[in-house]
Structure 1
């Protein structure tokens, strides 16, 4: 029964927490599956409003299924700490948590411990998600996770400074490098000695890995390892992209 409750909550959370109110009329009605009393523990991230969204989803779910209590357990902010915590839970064969919110790069690591969701979701419902995300979350034929939300990299820029220095919005990393240098030089010449042209996730953590994947993909369209297990990252285009990024440190970036 607990397995069924977990699966139900996963799909319910997707419906009530990340879908705008004006779209929720089209969401499938929640099926509580059982009239028995049950408790389901949901782990959730704690960055931004993640806890708020999870608690809102839990409240709406419990309103529809008052016999089921959903306990929201906030996780650490650090993705590294979260993964370590999950692995400790699995190693100890703990039953403390039923529903895990995990990162997009962890399916293969966590797959041995997770339920295959494929028998519980229709083809029609699965088609609502980006195919690449579904593919990413499928390990050895088992669908071990479905999207709670999707992240997308964004480039933010100050239109006032682009206009001030007559610089176009950059569309390549090389153009970004040149634009950032022009603007940084100009601002520092006006007395802003602490101005930097470009800031990004440069610390030694997961965020830097995400950045590097973007540089590699935009440079050559390659991955690090392909579907057949071949190492594809070692090529001249990728090396040049990484060298360019490294050159930013101390020049246009702190």
Structure 2
């Protein structure tokens, strides 16, 4: 199934980058007619913990004094960001021009006509990692440009694994065995085994999807139809439940979002952590004290039934339907997704690029040895459910999975209830 999706993505990319009428030339022309007006614009994005966006905006504003960009910083929570963007669209406000969308929102925003179609031939899409471009398409038309991507990696205490003579695990069973051996060391006293993101928010959907996908299951199929009440999905959810029950995952992790996971790893409280690439610079002590600086490594995610499968994270830049000065917005998006700006995002915040050249550059690989691993994670990643009403779907996932992790219902009941609710939501 994953191979068919990868082939579909490649086919979509070929069509995306072609300039012939058969592959959407007419839609490019229609998109261009809506992108008029030059002057000041705004850029709405989530809380910028890495401090990247001000640098990009400063460079743009210096070169375009008559078309300045003003940064609107939204909350750090993805759910709160989406809510504010939806409210802005529903009131047809022109307050937001360029939207920094979690890539899984693109389908929803495009289907509701809250964002405008973009001309494919303006953005060098053949130079982007194909899976990232796939997230920006709706009905084979372009509605965003990938600015950052995300593939999860397993962070581990390299020093402690080496001392115990243990290799990074490839499966959850191997990770449990590794923890048994490493946590017996005097240096590991008081540590827990593994942490991900299990608070009732978008990160829980991501972690659940990874467990299910790694066990051979899906939440929704290729056509967006729910198919989560399966033995494979149950195996994935059971792995998470058993992780909490056995103590492999510390009980406090039920409250963890990305920041809490990062701090637990940086403070030396967990041996392994599932995290995005932006944890790398923090753990290395680039901007705050880290007890694990120089002591950690990264590896592919372990899986429930074999090698792990990351959820495909990342952000697409899109233009609000109700914004003014859309021509300026197109130029700013092209500027903000150029190789130079993506290199800046990587250097300052360990934010994963979407351009293939940055992963394949020997100089960049020497500076960031994990880039080949990260590229494989992104190329093999599975998208979260690509459905029009994603907000309601992810809320349903969080509700039932969270209840199962807390022991309020069995895994079988949680998946049965989730399947029934998703069928209602997706029609």
TM range, smaller chain: 0.7 to 0.9
Q: TM-score, normalised by structure 2?
A: 0.46
CA RMSD between the two structures: 2.4
Residues in 1 aligned to 2:121 and 2:102: alpha-carbon distance in whole angstroms: 23
Partner of 2:335: none
* In structure 2, C-alpha distance between the alignment counterparts of 1:181 and 1:208, rounded to whole Å: 26
Per the alignment, residue 234 of structure 1 pairs with 229
The 1:105–1:72 alpha-carbon spacing in structure 2 relative to 1, beyond 3 Å, is same
Q: Which residue of 2 aligns with 1:116?
A: 117
CA contact (8 A) 1:90 1:113 kept: yes
Whether 1:38 aligns to 2:34 is no
Q: In structure 2, how many angstroms separate the alpha carbons of the residues matched to 1:103 and 1:204? A: 17
Which has more strand, going by share of residues?
2
Within the candidate set 189, 192, 195, 2:191 is matched to 195
2:74 is aligned to: 75
Candidates 242, 246, 254, aligned match of 2:241: 246
Distance across 2 between alignment mates of 1:148 and 1:232: 31
How far, CA to CA, are the matches of 1:191 and 1:96 in structure 2? 51
Superposed counterparts of 1:197-236, under 5 Å: 197-220=193-216, 222-236=217-231
Name the residue aligned to 1:178: 177
C-alpha contact 1:181 1:252 (8 A) present in aligned 2: no
Cα distance per residue 1:19-59 (max 9 Å; x no partner): xxxxxxxxxxxxxx99x97111111221421xx32222222
Aligned pair 1:151/2:142, yes or no? no
Query: Following the alignment from structure 2 to structure 1, what is the Cα–Cα distance between the partners of residues 188 and 196?
Result: 23
CA contact (8 A) 2:221 2:227 kept: yes
Deviations 1:70-107 (CA, angstroms, capped at 9, x unpaired): 11111110101101101111111110010000102111
Q: Distance in 1 between matches of 2:188 and 2:127?
A: 52
Q: CA deviation at 1:139?
A: 1.4
Distance 1:128 1:89 in 2: 32
Q: How does 1:21-170 map to 2 (within 5 A)?
A: 38-49=39-50, 52-111=51-110, 112-117=113-118, 119=119, 121-122=120-121, 125-170=124-169
Is the 1:183–1:197 Cα contact (8 Å) retained in structure 2?
no
8 Å CA contact 2:44, 2:72 repeated in 1: yes
| CA positional deviation for 1:190 | 7.7
d(CA) in 1 for partners of 2:224 and 2:169?
A: 35
Q: Which moved more, 1:92-101 or 1:234-243?
A: 234-243
Distance of 1:191 and 1:57 partners within structure 2: 42
User: Is the Cα contact below 8 Å between 1:219 and 1:237 reproduced in 2?
Assistant: yes
- In the superposition, the TM-score normalised over structure 1's length comes to 0.76
Match of 1:204, SS state, is: coil
User: Does structure 2 conserve the Cα–Cα contact (< 8 Å) formed by 1:41 and 1:70?
Assistant: yes
Q: Which blocks of at least 5 consecutive residues in structure 2 are unaligned?
A: 1-34, 251-427
CA contact (8 A) 1:41 1:73 kept: yes
CA offsets 1:225-245 (integer angstroms, 9 cap, x no match): 123243333332231122012
Shift of 1:155: 0.4
Count of residue pairs brought into register by the alignment? 213
Asked if structure 1 preserves the Cα contact closer than 8 Å seen for 2:211 and 2:239, the reply is no
Is residue 37–residue 68 contact of structure 1 (8 Å, CA) maintained in 2?
Answer: yes
